[in-house]
Amino acid sequence: MPALFCSQSHAVESAPLDEGLSPYYPDEEIISISTGTYKAMHLAPSVATVIRADEIKDSGARMLDEVLETVPGLHVSKSSIRNSDIYSVRGIRTDWNPQVLLMVNGVPFNDYIAGSRPPLFRLPVENIALIEVIRGPGSAVYGADAFAGVINVITKEGLDVNGLTAGGRTGSFETRDGWLQYGGERSGWDLGLSLEYSRTAGDRDRIIRRDYQTELDMLFGTRASLAPGPLESGYELLNGSVSLKQQNWSIWFNSWNLRDAGVGPGAWQALDPLGSQRNDQYTLAVGYKDAEFADDWQLDSRLSYRLFDQLATYQILPPGAEVPVGADGNLCVTAGCGPAGMVRFTDGVLGNPGGKQTEVRLEVAGLFEGWQDHRIRIAIGVDHDKLEPRETKNFGPGVIDGSVSPVDGTLTDVTGTPYIFVKQRSREVQYLSLQDEWRFASDWELTAGVRHDHYSDFGGTTNPRLALVWETGYFLTTKLLYGRAFRAPSLTELYFENNPVTVGNPDLQPESIDMLELVFDYRPDPRKVFILNLYSYRADDLIEFENGMAQNSRAQDGRGLELEAKWYATNTLQLKGNFALQYAEDAEEGTVVANAPRRQLFLAAAWQPAPAWSYYGQANWVMDRQRAAPDPRPPIGDNATVDLSLRYQPPNRNWEFAASVKNVFDADNREPSEGKIPNDYPLAGRSLYLEAEYQLNQL
């Protein structure tokens, strides 16, 4: 049977279904991200999506972002900042994209500098057991950045692998992937090992015809631009994990190492074939759970440590660029900055910012079930983050003053001086959360929760949630949801300085959002699922860079709907799809929020005509994206992508083979850019991948 909708394979606790309803939800996913406790999907007090390892494998996806593009109302776009991924949810879309919280095994994978994911973050899918996604506020459980949505990636344990697995993939753009996994029992511990390697040169046909240096050449009579040229998207990645689990204890270690990652259109929208991003991230999480900690009490605690070391190597402008430079040494190409002189950079404008971030998190949660019809969760925690920045460059304060030209490629180390892009910083967060799941009638449940966070650098914030779930009948569940969330200002927004592009503002306030949702979950029989979600929100104090400085600049209103459908048409054919429609606009001016798709449509089919053969196809449409006023460029074209995958796994054999084609019709799909790249960011063209995997299960 195709694996498109069958029950999850990952070993998690099950939440018991109502005995009368169980025939209608025989293979329903169990989700924990909504409340921190396990719930059947149709009873979860949120709008949630669960994607399993078998679904990911059938689709032929290589990286996490390909999988997330299938989630209703979530679009993976591209940022002007190094072409990193933007997770645009319900019209909430910014270049830095800190409004979506990404976790791996419950540990936030955020970049302390920008507030978002690590720059150019990619995650291979071979070690993913389950992906949980909630759209909408999640701060009452998860705190900061759980603003527009929360994503939790759950990796495989030893039982999920159960033996030895080795595989490889080769394909277009000089892509080479390999993985080796082991799962078994050693000395009473459930042991899981995973090593994933990925390398690609990227699609060299993603050509940028004009860039920012083209514009500067026209202004100053130079010929330095490297356009036309390819958008740099190659990288090399090594991702390793070790998981150990025994009775109440769990240990997880992850090493994520990115090398030679191309910086897309360049740091300042000028093509940069020499630029690269290097990231080294190491995570250790130790958990202790005790289901019989005390009478009517369960204990769930976790201590985690994360070290993230990054270095960006930028050729901000190419060799031969000649630009005005201010008396402070920064590039001076905006109105009113008062240049001191024209400076020619013979080897280009060079900047290498980076730094080491350390993060220690401790959470202790107790689950009390001593009161009839109540399940109360109390959690306390503390986070401590520290940044030690470093930087070398050939421009800026402490390096040049605009009075000398030309300037060569000699780099000055400004680490530990007043001239660095951001000074050493630390932040401590203390929080307390309380949640009650109250079954006040046989078919009604109310989830009420609140969390208070106190930040050492800007104060406190309190965020509540309410969710009323009504099992309307054997076929229908109705939910009314309210949530409030916040997004803490990042170091970039608070403290950036000595920078020609962005300057921080220490007086910023957190962003906030209030969202109301109405959900209908309809399952007329075990083979059909229909979910309709209606939502409306108001986001306040949204942070944007105005004239280069971070400001709490605007409010945003949004409303929309998301429709999901799944159908087991036959025992060998399964279909699913979703449609999202959103209207997001500036609350004061009434203008449409730029670049976010108003309509999205996704369709997928899985077919298994014979026991050894399975076919998968999906189509994705991204539509109705509007430019920011007063951008004079033509409207952004719609994207349409079709992907196909074929898998062969003969019965009673350890080998399986697969072939997949991405963007079958080689559509010229693009993501919206700033005006400095006039023709938008081209996405990858047609690509073909061949895969083989060997599995040796334990006896």
**Residue 19: what pLDDT?**
35
Query: What are φ and ψ of residue 56, in 5° steps?
Result: -65, -45
The whole-number pLDDT of residue 697 equals 79
Confidence of residue 300 (pLDDT cuts 50, 70, 90): very high
Quickly state the pLDDT bin for 699 (edges 50, 70, 90): very low
355 assigned to some structural domain: yes
Least confident of 36-45, 63-72, 434-443: 36-45
Confidence band (pLDDT; 50, 70, 90) for 568? very high
Is 2 domain-assigned? no
Structure tokens at 54: 């078998």
**Is 471 inside a domain boundary?**
yes
pLDDT grade, residue 577 (50/70/90)?
Answer: very high
Partner residues linked to 149 by β-bridges: 100, 135
- The answer as to whether 338 is a domain residue is yes
Tell me the chain's radius of gyration from C-alpha atoms.
25
Whole-Å CA distances, 330 to 241, 325, 418, 554 = 42, 6, 14, 28
Residue 399 lies in domain: 22-697
Give per-residue pLDDT as tens, 470-497.
Answer: 999 989 999 999 999 999 998 888 998 8
Evaluate whether residue 229 is within a structural domain: yes
pLDDT tens per residue, range 72-128: 999 999 988 778 899 999 999 888 888 999 999 999 998 878 888 999 999 999 999
Rounded to an integer, the average pLDDT of 676-681 is: 93
Given a cut of 60, whether residue 362 has pLDDT beyond it is yes
Distance, CA of 431 to CA of 411 (rounded, Å): 43
Which phi and psi angles does 67 have, rounded to 5°? -70, -45
The count of structural domains within the chain is 1
pLDDT band at 18 (very low <50, low <70, confident <90, very high): very low
Asked whether residue 641 carries a pLDDT value surpassing 60, the answer given is: yes
pLDDT tens per residue across span 143-153: 888 999 999 99
CA 182 – CA 159 distance, rounded (Å): 9
Identify the pLDDT of residue 336. Answer: 65
User: pLDDT-derived band of residue 70, with 50, 70 and 90 as boundaries?
Assistant: very high
With a cut of 80, say whether residue 509 has pLDDT above it: yes
Spatial separation of the C-alpha atoms in residues 435 and 13, rounded to whole Å:
20
Q: 285-294, 410-419, 436-445, 648-657: which has the minimum mean pLDDT?
A: 648-657
pTM comes to 0.94
Which residues have C-beta within 8 Å of that of residue 696, sequence separation ≥ 6? 163, 164, 165, 654
Question: What's the pLDDT score for residue 499?
Answer: 77
d(CA 377, CA 399): 54
pLDDT of residue 600: 98
Q: Is the pLDDT of residue 20 over 60?
A: no
- Give the separation between CA 491 and CA 143, rounded to whole angstroms: 17
CA-closest candidate to residue 460, choices 139, 35, 97: 139
Residue with the larger pLDDT of the pair 499 and 661? 661
More confident: 17 or 365? 365
Nearest Cα to 276, choosing from 257, 292, 286, 263? 263
**pLDDT of 16:** 35
Q: Is residue 7 part of a domain?
A: no
Mean pLDDT score of the chain: 91
Indicate if the pLDDT at residue 24 is higher than 50: no
> Residue 21 above 60 pLDDT?
no
Question: In the structure, what pLDDT confidence band is assigned to residue 277 with cuts at 50, 70 and 90?
Answer: very high
**Is 60 exceeded by the pLDDT of residue 4?**
no
pLDDT at 565 over 60: yes
Plot region of 21 (φ>0 → left; ψ -120 to 50 → alpha; else → beta): alpha
Give residue 22's pLDDT. 36
The answer to whether position 10 is within a domain reads: no
Please determine, for residue 547, whether its predicted confidence score (pLDDT) is greater than 80: no
Residues of the chain above pLDDT 70, percent: 95
Q: Which range, 331-340, 422-431, 488-497, is most confident?
A: 422-431
Q: Flag whether pLDDT at 10 surpasses 80.
A: no
Lowest mean pLDDT among 251-260, 292-301, 350-359, 628-637: 628-637
Query: Which range among 88-97, 296-305, 403-412 shows the weakest confidence by mean pLDDT?
Result: 88-97
The string of pLDDT tens digits covering residues 217-237 is 999 999 999 999 999 999 999
pLDDT score of 42: 87
Residue 27 is predicted with a pLDDT of: 59
Instruction: Kindly state the tokens that stand for 302.
Output: 């976790």
pLDDT band of residue 1 (cuts 50, 70, 90) is: very low
Angle (CA) 130-356-79 rounded to 5° is: 60
Residue 5 has pLDDT above 70, yes or no: no
**pLDDT beyond 80 at 419:** yes
The answer to the question of residue 607 being in a domain is: yes
Give the pLDDT confidence score for residue 332 in this predicted structure: 84
Structure-block tokens of residue 393? 């460059």
Q: What is the CATH number of the domain that holds 439?
A: 2.40.170.20
